Amino acid sequence: MLFGRESMLCTVRSALGAILILGGASFIAKNFLIVLAPQYDLPYVIAPMFLAMDSLTFWSLIKGVDRARWDARGTGCQRAQSWMNWLDMAS
């Protein structure tokens, strides 16, 4: 059962990644159209970007954050300090 759930989550994450790439490409295309060919600037060229934003929002709301893993990572300062300690040991 767990294998099926993990497989489905992997598929959803892959689809979400593809949607985000498409959304970013539509944003870039819209900006190029505005600058290079304003007569061809169409309002629905940017629609995939809104789909990507909505998909990421719903994924974040549904999947959420694992609070235990988040707290275990520590703050940014703690991670930077551990990185600096590692660099000191490496030299």
Which residue in this structure is represented by tokens 């007569």?
Answer: 39
Task: Identify the pLDDT of residue 26.
Answer: 92
Task: Identify the pLDDT of residue 1.
Answer: 46
DSSP-derived 3-state class of residue 13: helix
Mean pLDDT for the stretch of residues 70-79: 67
In tens, the pLDDT along 12-30 reads 888 888 999 999 999 999 9
Can you tell me the distance from the alpha carbon of 62 to that of 55, in angstroms, rounded to the nearest whole number? Answer: 10
Please determine, for residue 91, whether its predicted confidence score (pLDDT) is greater than 60.
no
Please determine, for residue 56, whether its predicted confidence score (pLDDT) is greater than 70.
yes
Mean pLDDT for the stretch of residues 56-74: 79
